[in-house]
Amino acid sequence: MSTAVFFDLDGTLLEFTEPYREVIEATLHACLGRSTPPLVETYNETFYEAFVATEPEPYRHGMRAVRAEAESDVAPEALVAELCEREVAMTAVNDGARTLTESLAERHHLGVITNGVPEWQRAKLAHHDLLERFEAVVTSYEAGAHKPDPAPFELARERVDADTYVMIGDDYEADVEGAKRAGFVPIHLNPEATTGTQVRDLGSLTNLLDSLA
């Protein structure tokens, strides 16, 4: 019996080391020489609207709106590149993730299912030398819908052949409910976990995963 173990990325394998709003503020300061709450809100609102709709280049949508509001001649592409570099740099590997994935790769198929843009999510994994550890990195943009929609999970099944599929994530609706509906075994990464298929940290996953295999 083969088992494919899929991880969420942001908040599960990786964590942000500072509030994301500060990353946006620093990006605007670096490129525009200033950052104001209205400019940050403009970016957030425009980006989020495009992202939820899986429109192409949601980051560029956000930065084009900022550029227009700021009446700046800085290219949106420069703003996007600066944000990407800063977003990747402010991620850190969660405790236990590196050791756990190295151990699991010896006996299970490993993959990632993440809500995000392919280039950005893979860049984070590559930055931490984790990309090659996974047989498949499935992003919601490639699937055409975000978790908890079944599409990312179905695409994961297409890319990795296994008898049993497991999904590990910190977001209950996206990762747990989405996995259940897609026929995956869900494991909720929850610091306050007490019972069932919940774990407090990644380091305590090995025995639970082996019992599911």
Domain-wise residue ranges, the chain: 3-16+91-212, 20-89
Nearest Cα to 159, choosing from 185, 136, 131?
136
pLDDT computed for residue 194 by the predictor? 46
Dist CA 168 CA 157 (whole Å) = 15
Dist CA 201 CA 94 (whole Å) = 9
Architecture in CATH for domain 3-16+91-212: 3-Layer(aba) Sandwich (3.40)
In tens, the pLDDT along 133-189 reads 999 999 999 999 999 999 999 999 999 999 999 999 999 999 999 999 999 999 888
Mean pLDDT score of the chain: 91
Other C-beta atoms lying within 10 Å of the C-beta of residue 45 = 12
CA atoms within 13 A on the CB side of 206: 13
